[in-house]
């Protein structure tokens, strides 16, 4: 296998120098088609970025060095393109032969001349606005895959779409999920040898996770790999699912009110062509609280619940299970292992090891043997209080009992919290420095068991926990204290020594994905609306650009006619941007969303137009007249059905309308027409009448009015300073 790959690599390197000559290469029917050879040799193809993580190893390292530590101060904007969506932008662009292809919020695709910014085509899959309520974490999309002369896109409503790369015309599309259930796709497909591989999300909504492969030619499904059992396994079921069923109390999974189990694989994959193994990152349980998902005698639930929070290796041709490593056995904290999976070869204790690396939500940085799944090492990259370490013999975390919450017990303040020590934002690896750059977060979460909890798979989150706190004091100083305890850092991590070499603190927790280059640079945008270049060795900021908006997407770099470009899709959003910022927004100003593709080169001299003023309606709510009992009921329902989009404490993020400033607060009937009758469903605000009674909807209005009045008082406090 290795020998064949090397031959391919040499042929293809020659091929990429002069694309026209490529037509003679085996397996390549025309010059501009992407085939297995090109994907295998993506590392040597410095000009292009043809795969989500640039290479199958997903290192996000570019050999380009025309832009480097000596001249990065001459970097400037050379073109930009405004987007027609103002939600979170999380995509990694692909760059193929001088053209750049991006996806935006709402699963749209756009193509440009990569050197000049000339628009070439765009495609809108017309995802229904109502789909937004199925998405845990904004209407984002993280990118494309390419094969032949096509691009492949997963849409928020669960379709896989093949587009002609030259025109954006639809070649085929196939529905990959049961659209009656709350499945979504936000991740980028991966391609292995003519198969398009895609997972899905929805573990907050009661789905059962899987990854499937489709024929790149016609969209036929080739295999499907379920990540969790359904409790109905028998001797005819695949062995790996029979084994998984042994680790669950399967009563709930198999019951009529099954909660799906979760384990969605919504983002990370990597591929080792020599070992012929595809690695899949598996997400959290559904619901989060194991006590409700897999009940046990001691009140915290029972079993490891495979393959939640695991890295699973499968054969890409068949979807056959090969090995797994579970980062968080019996996960109950939303500790997904869907975070970036990265492959590298490195010397550890005198031996060259083929390793797989991941910094999942649970706060430990893992180095595994990617041939066997054997645990090599794991140390915390952020403060961790749910486990004291990892047993080197078993590879299992040594849990701290107080972090596990039972159904009736007291809440637990756990760090990292559900946002993770690291979320979906891609890391990058610099092979010369042997450093992994982690966009890390420090944010604890108070997990309060939800008493007498019942699943509701129709609409809203299914957690089995309360994650917002009703009695958070509406005091400006307290809110600032909470905000101050939440941090974001770029960490340069030595994976061999398992220790930090340097770190840089950001203005907020939710920051951009990372790019590393042979020019000795690391690029990353942040929540402070800056796009920065760091010295890869030291973390010194060498260059900064005022992006006017929070940047969460990862940058890429490419070259056209020998000139190096750096591109990043700017635009604030994603789960934290949409729903997680309550305390911080209450203490500071919201981060703005101005969605744009920004492209830089040495000597670039374009300026962005002046940012328009942020329109803020006055905070002028009706009088706070609801009873304490009504407000408590309103909080209870808000927390379960509204928080994910409208933020904790009803503090709007700026991405969607701020409820505290809504004119609808004035009128019971207008409020009912929106929340009960769904008159704004085309905008994504669907009817909640199947899950909420008119009285409960009215109680939510009372709660939001109450919160708005509290914040109006805090605003007065702020202005008096
Ligand atoms: Ca989750």
For position 471, what pLDDT does the model report? 65
- Ramachandran bin of 585, using left for φ above 0, alpha for ψ from -120 to 50, beta for the remaining angles: alpha
> What is the Cα–Cα distance from 598 to 308, expressed in whole angstroms?
37
Provide CB contacts within 8 A for 539, sequence distance 6+.
490, 492, 502, 503, 504
Is residue 194 packed enough to be buried (19+ CB in 10 Å), middle (13-18) or exposed (0-12)? middle
Question: 673-697 burial string, b = 16+ CB within 10 Å, else e?
Answer: ebbbeeebbeebbbbbeeebeeebb
> What is the Cα–Cα distance from 68 to 46, expressed in whole angstroms?
15
Evaluate if residue 171 carries a pLDDT over 70.
Answer: yes
The string of pLDDT tens digits covering residues 178-226 is: 999 999 999 999 999 999 999 999 999 999 999 999 999 999 999 999 9
Q: Are 664 and 685 in contact (CB under 8 A)?
A: no
Expressed in angstroms and rounded, the spacing between residue 415 Cα and the centre of ligand 1 is 16
Q: Which of 340, 43, 356, 314 is nearest to 192 (CA)?
A: 314
> What is the Cα–Cα distance from 611 to 596, expressed in whole angstroms?
12
Expressed in angstroms and rounded, the spacing between residue 586 Cα and the centre of ligand 1 is 24
**Chain-centroid distance, C-alpha 22:** 36
Distances (CA, A) of 709 to 623, 626, 639, 718, 721: 8, 12, 18, 14, 19
pTM: 0.92
Expressed in angstroms and rounded, the spacing between residue 197 Cα and the centre of ligand 1 is 21
Distances (CA, A) of 63 to 39, 48, 393, 702: 16, 11, 38, 57
Expressed in angstroms and rounded, the spacing between residue 466 Cα and the centre of ligand 1 is 14
Evaluate if residue 28 carries a pLDDT over 70.
Answer: no
Expressed in angstroms and rounded, the spacing between residue 380 Cα and the centre of ligand 1 is 20
For position 66, what pLDDT does the model report? 98
Band (24; pLDDT cuts 50, 70, 90): very low
> What is the Cα–Cα distance from 662 to 319, expressed in whole angstroms?
49
Q: Are 198 and 211 in contact (CB under 8 A)?
A: yes
Expressed in angstroms and rounded, the spacing between residue 283 Cα and the centre of ligand 1 is 7
Q: Which of 154, 139, 137, 143 is nearest to 110 (CA)?
A: 143
For position 67, what pLDDT does the model report? 98
> What is the Cα–Cα distance from 488 to 506, expressed in whole angstroms?
5
Expressed in angstroms and rounded, the spacing between residue 644 Cα and the centre of ligand 1 is 11
Query: Could you say which of 45, 334, 456, 658 is catalytic?
Result: 334
Evaluate if residue 587 carries a pLDDT over 70.
Answer: no
The string of pLDDT tens digits covering residues 400-455 is: 999 998 777 788 999 999 999 999 999 999 999 999 999 999 999 989 998 888 88
Expressed in angstroms and rounded, the spacing between residue 205 Cα and the centre of ligand 1 is 10
Active site residue 334: yes
User: DSSP secondary structure string, 43-111?
Assistant: TT-TT-B-STTSSTT---EE---SS-TTTGGGEEEEEEEE-S--S---PBPEEETTEEEEE-GGG-EEE
State the residue for tokens 């595994």. 368
Domain definitions of the chain by residue range? 2-62, 104-140+143-423, 628-720
Band (615; pLDDT cuts 50, 70, 90): low
- Could you give the angle at the alpha carbon of 235 between the alpha carbons of 231 and 237, nearest 5°? 60
> What is the Cα–Cα distance from 506 to 411, expressed in whole angstroms?
29
Fold of 628-720: Cytochrome Bc1 Complex; Chain D, domain 2 (1.10.760)
Q: Give the CATH class of 104-140+143-423.
A: mainly beta
Report residue 427 as tokens.
């890391």
Expressed in angstroms and rounded, the spacing between residue 255 Cα and the centre of ligand 1 is 23
The string of pLDDT tens digits covering residues 351-367 is: 999 999 999 999 999 99
Strands 75-82 and 94-96, bridge-based pairing:
unpaired
Q: Are 361 and 336 in contact (CB under 8 A)?
A: yes
> What is the Cα–Cα distance from 460 to 619, expressed in whole angstroms?
27
Band (586; pLDDT cuts 50, 70, 90): low
Q: Name the β-bridge partners of 110.
A: 102, 122
Per-chain mean pLDDT for the chain: 91
- The highest-confidence range among 257-271, 284-298, 554-568, 650-664, by mean pLDDT, is 554-568
Q: Which of 573, 337, 571, 576 is nearest to 443 (CA)?
A: 576
Expressed in angstroms and rounded, the spacing between residue 580 Cα and the centre of ligand 1 is 13
Strands 428-430 and 435-442, bridge-based pairing:
antiparallel
Strands 514-517 and 61-62, bridge-based pairing:
parallel
Q: Which of 192, 168, 177 is nearest to 156 (CA)?
A: 177
The string of pLDDT tens digits covering residues 43-83 is: 999 999 999 999 999 999 999 999 999 999 999 999 999 99
For position 15, what pLDDT does the model report? 39
Provide CB contacts within 8 A for 285, sequence distance 6+.
203, 261, 262, 263, 293, 294, 305, 308, 309, 331, 332
Q: Are 35 and 28 in contact (CB under 8 A)?
A: yes
Report residue 138 as tokens.
């904004």
DSSP three-state, residue 488: strand
Q: Which of 189, 196, 190, 187 is nearest to 215 (CA)?
A: 196
Q: Are 35 and 27 in contact (CB under 8 A)?
A: yes
The string of pLDDT tens digits covering residues 540-580 is: 999 999 999 999 999 999 999 999 999 999 999 998 887 66
Report residue 517 as tokens.
């280059």
The string of pLDDT tens digits covering residues 637-694 is: 998 899 888 888 888 777 888 899 889 999 999 999 999 999 999 888 999 999 999 9
Expressed in angstroms and rounded, the spacing between residue 335 Cα and the centre of ligand 1 is 7
């Amino acid at each position: 296998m290795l020998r064949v790959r090397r031959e391919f690599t040499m042929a293809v390197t020659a091929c990429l120098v002069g694309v026209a000559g490529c037509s003679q290469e085996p397996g390549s029917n025309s010059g501009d088609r992407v085939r297995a050879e090109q994907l295998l040799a993506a590392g040597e193809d410095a000009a292009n970025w043809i795969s989500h993580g640039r290479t199958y190893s997903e290192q996000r390292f570019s050999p380009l060095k025309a832009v480097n530590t000596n001249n990065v101060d001459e970097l400037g904007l050379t073109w930009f393109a405004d987007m027609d969506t103002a939600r979170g932008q999380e995509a990694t662009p692909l760059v193929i032969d001088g053209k750049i292809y991006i996806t935006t919020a709402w699963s749209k695709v756009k193509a440009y001349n990569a050197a000049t910014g000339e628009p070439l085509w765009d495609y809108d899959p017309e995802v229904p606005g109502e789909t937004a309520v199925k998405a845990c974490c904004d209407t984002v999309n993280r990118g494309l895959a390419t094969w032949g002369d096509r691009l492949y896109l997963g849409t928020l409503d669960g379709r896989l779409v093949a587009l002609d790369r030259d025109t954006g015309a639809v070649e085929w599309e196939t529905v990959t999920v049961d659209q009656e259930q709350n499945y979504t796709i936000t991740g980028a497909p991966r391609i292995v040898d003519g198969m398009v591989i895609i997972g899905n999300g929805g573990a907050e909504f009661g789905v059962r996770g899987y990854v499937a492969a489709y024929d790149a030619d016609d969209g036929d499904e080739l295999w499907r790999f379920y990540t969790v059992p359904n409790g109905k396994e028998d001797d005819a079921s695949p062995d790996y699912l029979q084994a998984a069923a042994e680790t669950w109390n399967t009563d709930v999974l198999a019951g009529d009110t099954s909660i799906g189990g979760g384990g969605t694989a919504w983002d990370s994959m990597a591929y080792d062509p020599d070992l012929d193994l595809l690695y899949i990152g598996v997400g959290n349980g559904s619901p989060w609280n194991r006590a409700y998902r897999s009940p046990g005698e001691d009140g915290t639930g029972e079993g490891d619940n495979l393959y939640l929070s695991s890295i699973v290796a499968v054969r890409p041709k068949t979807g056959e299970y090969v090995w797994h490593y579970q980062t968080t056995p019996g996960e109950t904290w939303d500790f997904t292992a869907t975070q970036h999976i990265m492959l590298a070869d490195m010397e550890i204790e005198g031996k060259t090891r083929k390793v797989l690396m991941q910094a999942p939500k649970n706060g430990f940085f893992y180095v595994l043997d990617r041939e066997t799944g054997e645990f090599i090492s794991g140390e915390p990259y952020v403060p961790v209080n749910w486990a004291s370490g990892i047993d080197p013999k078993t590879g299992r975390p040594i849990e701290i009992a107080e972090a596990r919450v039972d159904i009736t017990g007291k809440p637990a303040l756990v760090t990292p919290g559900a946002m993770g020590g690291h979320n979906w934002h891609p890391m990058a690896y610099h092979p010369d420095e042997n450093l992994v750059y982690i966009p890390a977060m420090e944010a604890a979460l108070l997990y309060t068991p939800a008493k007498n909890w019942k699943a509701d798979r129709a609409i809203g989150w299914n957690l089995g926990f309360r994650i917002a706190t009703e009695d958070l004091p509406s005091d400006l100083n307290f809110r600032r204290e909470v905000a101050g305890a939440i941090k974001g850092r770029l960490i340069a991590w030595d994976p061999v020594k398992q220790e930090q070499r340097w770190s840089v603190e950001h203005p907020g927790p939710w920051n951009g994905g990372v790019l590393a280059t042979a020019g000795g640079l690391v690029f990353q945008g942040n929540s402070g609306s800056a796009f920065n270049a760091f010295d890869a060795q030291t973390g010194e900021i060498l260059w900064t650009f005022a992006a006017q908006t929070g940047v969460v997407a990862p940058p890429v770099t490419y070259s056209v006619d020998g000139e190096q470009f750096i591109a990043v899709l700017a635009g604030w959003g994603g789960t934290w941007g949409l729903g997680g910022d309550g305390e911080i927004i209450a203490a500071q100003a919201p981060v703005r969303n101005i969605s744009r593709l920004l492209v830089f080169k040495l000597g670039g001299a374009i300026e962005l137009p002046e940012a328009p003023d942020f329109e803020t309606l006055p905070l002028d709510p009706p009088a706070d007249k609801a009873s304490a009992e009504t407000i408590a009921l309103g909080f209870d329902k808000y927390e379960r059905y509204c928080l994910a989009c409208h933020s904790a404490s009803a503090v709007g993020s700026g991405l969607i309308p701020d409820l505290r400033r809504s004119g609808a607060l004035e009128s019971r009937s207008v409020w009912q027409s929106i929340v009960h009758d769904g008159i704004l469903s085309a905008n994504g605000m669907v009817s909640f009448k199947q899950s909420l009674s008119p009285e409960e909807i009215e109680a939510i209005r009372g709660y939001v009015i109450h919160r708005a009045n509290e914040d109006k008082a805090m605003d007065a406090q702020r202005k008096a300073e």
